[in-house]
Amino acid sequence: MLRPFLSLALIGSNFADTIERLDPALDAIIPPNAEVETLCTGHDWAEGPVWDQQGQRLLFSDVPRNTIYQWKEGMEQAEVWMKPSGFTGIVKNRREPGSNGLAFDSAGRLVFCEHGDRRVSILTCQGGKRTLADSYQGKRFNSPNDLTFAKNGDIYFTDPPYGLPRKDQKAFQELPYCGVFRLTPEGKVTLLDQSLERPNGIALSPDETLLYVNNSHGPRPVITAFPVKPDHTLDTGRVFFDMKGLDGPGSPDGLKVDPQGNVFTTGPDGLLIINPEGKLIGRVRCGRATANVAFGDDGRCLFLTSKDRLLRIQLKP
């Protein structure tokens, strides 16, 4: 078990969430007096948070409920913003049918990873959705899970099988692997990697020379760092961080990178903060499996979707 460099900062009114400081460098990211706020509760599996700067709100998916919620400052509970969010079909034995990862493009349009409809889509200015990609070489994706944008408009996304019907997963699966893909603004889809059993959270380094991908696979719970080649494909990846042996419920899931190159990833017992050299410098312990993370309010705060809750932590200005 890892022991903190500094004492635990027990925060929050019910002391359920703690910040564990493993290195003094964390103080430059999360100030010593920071608190973990519970913003709303009551969800099945909150996922895919994204800050809408124009609307001054947080949007996030509840995957089992096939719903996207919005939360604004002052709300005691989040409001339904879109339903259905990721599945419009009739197959009923899906545990995770809704949207998962959400991101805004450079024009401010919302892009979705949709589990049930097995596609990457975009919300148009007229209010309807348009499919950006739903297949590779004529075979449907498994269930696009999470995504990140490159500065040139390329979308990198992961495709594990979590949105497929559990009882009939093999019958529905058309691709024989779980891939990491790139989608260009022109609509071209390229398979970048198929070595990870369950690719999940995904993010680029600030200079876009590395692509980080979480592998939410019990026997190999690792973050892989892939060098990005000049043609935007990937070189052979290396293990950036191995979560095996860390205590607490949950596995590698959502992932973001700050402008300094620090990696914020959900994992066992909540959130891990890892510096660019791969050293774990802090944890936010939530006491439960935690799905995803997002920066908000111009990078001044951090949002966590922790199972049934939406949490917020203020960051160092």
Looking at residue 130, its amino acid is R
The string of pLDDT tens digits covering residues 55-85 is: 999 999 999 999 999 999 999 999 999 999 9
In a domain, 4, yes or no: no
The 10 Å Cβ neighbour count of residue 135 is 14
In a domain, 244, yes or no: yes
| Residue partners of 14: CB distance under 8 A and separation at least 6 | none
Instruction: Check: CB of residue 43 under 8 Å from CB of residue 79.
Output: no
Q: Which residue has the tokens 């019907």?
A: 165
Whether residue 34 has pLDDT greater than 50: yes
Percent of the chain whose predicted confidence (pLDDT) is above 90: 89
For the record, the structure tokens of 311 come out as: 């949490």
Does the residue 2 lie in any domain?
A: no
CATH of the domain at 168: 2.120.10.30
75-84 CB contacts, 8 Å cutoff, 24+ apart? 75/39, 75/40, 76/40, 77/40, 77/41, 77/42, 78/39, 78/40, 78/43, 78/310, 84/116
Report the predicted TM-score, pTM, of the whole model to 2 decimal places: 0.94
154, 159, 193, 253: the catalytic one is 253
Mean pLDDT over 133-150 rounds to 98
The rounded Cα 18 to chain-centroid distance in angstroms is 21
Residues 6 or more apart whose CB falls under 8 angstroms from that of 299 comprise 258, 259, 315
Asked whether residue 1 is assigned to any structural domain, the reply reads: no
Structural domain range at position 114: 9-314
pLDDT at 182 over 60: yes
Number of domains in the chain: 1
Annotated binding site for a divalent metal cation: 47, 200, 253
Asked if residue 3 belongs to a domain, the reply is: no
247 is a catalytic site residue: no
Q: Which residues are annotated as a binding site?
A: 47, 140, 145, 168, 200, 253
Residue 288 β-bridge partners: none
Examine residue 207 and state whether it is found in any structural domain, yes or no: yes
